[in-house]
Structure 1
């Protein structure tokens, strides 16, 4: 389905991603973890073609995505939707219009200029919002919603593209634990119910273990771990993060019960 073959990105003398290789042979939910600057975001941006690779290939069903240009490149970006940490919504327009922006790649310039949408697309956008539990907010301005609600609008916009792959770059980094859980559960349902591949950059190990079928660890631009969630032990995490024995993943937990003031951090569900 998707093969990343020795994908490399250099910025001058700095190597952001170093010969990353990854095979995805069936729809799954993958969590990519690693410290800030490990190359996680750059890897997703190369997959989506927001950033061009310096070397290597991205192969999808025998087609080299890194070589696509023009209309073919835009078609790939529609088939491989991107969700960002900061939502990237238009704050002063209504929620349903933000969702409908997911159809821009297949609309004419004239229709885009006059904000004209087929009724079928409008109904579909509202159905997607309903699926994500926020249909009642459709007529509101995006800026009136909470962070968690805005991220679900961003997910709805991605679903309007009807992609095979959804890339989520730190989708819960700016959210509180309750909203983070809601967003991750939504992404998990989309994978399970729709059969879409979801690849998320994540900062917390408990989130990767709880929601992902597979976890990839990056360090200094290289993939240093690729395995099942249960294989992500504290020792493996120390290697990924380049940490010493003082490393405690409980301090990064997003589990709501682990963050209760009456619950010691060492009892956090994420610990192994």
Structure 2
């Protein structure tokens, strides 16, 4: 389904991603971990074609997406949705309009300028917000929502594209533990229920173990680990992060083990 072959990105004398190679045979939820500067974000940006690769191949369903140009490149970016750490919403625009921006790649220039959307798209946007538990906020400005709610609006916008692949670049890095769990729950459901491939850059090991089917570790641009969550031991993590014997993953844990509390938070958001 996805083959990454010697994917490399250089910025002058610096190599951000160094001959990364791996294969994914079926839709999975994949976590990419590593220190800041390890090349995780650069890899996702190359996959989404926000950044051009220096060399290598990235073949999805038989097409090398690195070779796509013009309308074919834009179509790929619609099939490969991107979720960012800082949400990238229009703060003063209402929530449902932000979600509808997920259709921009397939809309005409005139319709985009005058913010004209088919009724079926509006209904679909509200249905997606309902699925994510935030339909009650559809008419509010995006800036009025909490960080966790804004990130779920960004997820809804990605789903409006009806993508085959969802890329999430540190989607919970700026969130508190409870909202981080809500966002990761939603990303996992998108994979489980829709059969979409989800690739997320993550900064906590417990999150990668809990939510992902496969974990890829990057260090200095290279893939140094590729395995199951069970294989991601503390010793392996030390190697990925280049840490010493005093390394403790507990300091960065975001795990919440109270499903009742999670349900209460969702119910409270709907009631607001």
Superposition TM-score, scaled by structure 2 size: 0.94
User: In 2, Cα distance between the equivalents of 1:103 and 1:43?
Assistant: 24
User: Is 2:210 aligned against 1:210?
Assistant: yes
User: In 1, Cα distance between the equivalents of 2:248 and 2:79?
Assistant: 38
User: What are the Cα deviations for residues 145-186 of structure 1, in whole angstroms up to 9, with x where unaligned?
Assistant: 000000000000000000000000000000000000000000
Provide structure 1 residue ranges, at least 5 long, that are not aligned to the other structure: 259-272
Q: Note the C-alpha offset of 1:24.
A: 1.0
- Aligned equivalent of 1:266: none
Q: Note the C-alpha offset of 1:84.
A: 0.1
Q: Which residues of 2 match residues 71-110 of structure 1 at below 5 A?
A: 71-110=71-110
User: What are the Cα deviations for residues 188-228 of structure 1, in whole angstroms up to 9, with x where unaligned?
Assistant: 00000000000000000000000000000000000000000
- Aligned equivalent of 1:241: 241
Provide structure 2 residue ranges, at least 5 long, that are not aligned to the other structure: 259-272
Name the SS of the counterpart of 2:230 in structure 1: helix
How many residue pairs are counted as aligned between the two chains? 258
Regions of 4+ moved over 2 Å: none
User: Is 2:196 aligned against 1:190?
Assistant: no
Q: Note the C-alpha offset of 1:257.
A: 5.5
Q: Note the C-alpha offset of 1:61.
A: 2.0
User: In 2, Cα distance between the equivalents of 1:76 and 1:3?
Assistant: 15
- Aligned equivalent of 1:13: 13
User: What are the Cα deviations for residues 123-161 of structure 1, in whole angstroms up to 9, with x where unaligned?
Assistant: 000000000000000000000000000000000000000
- Aligned equivalent of 1:156: 156
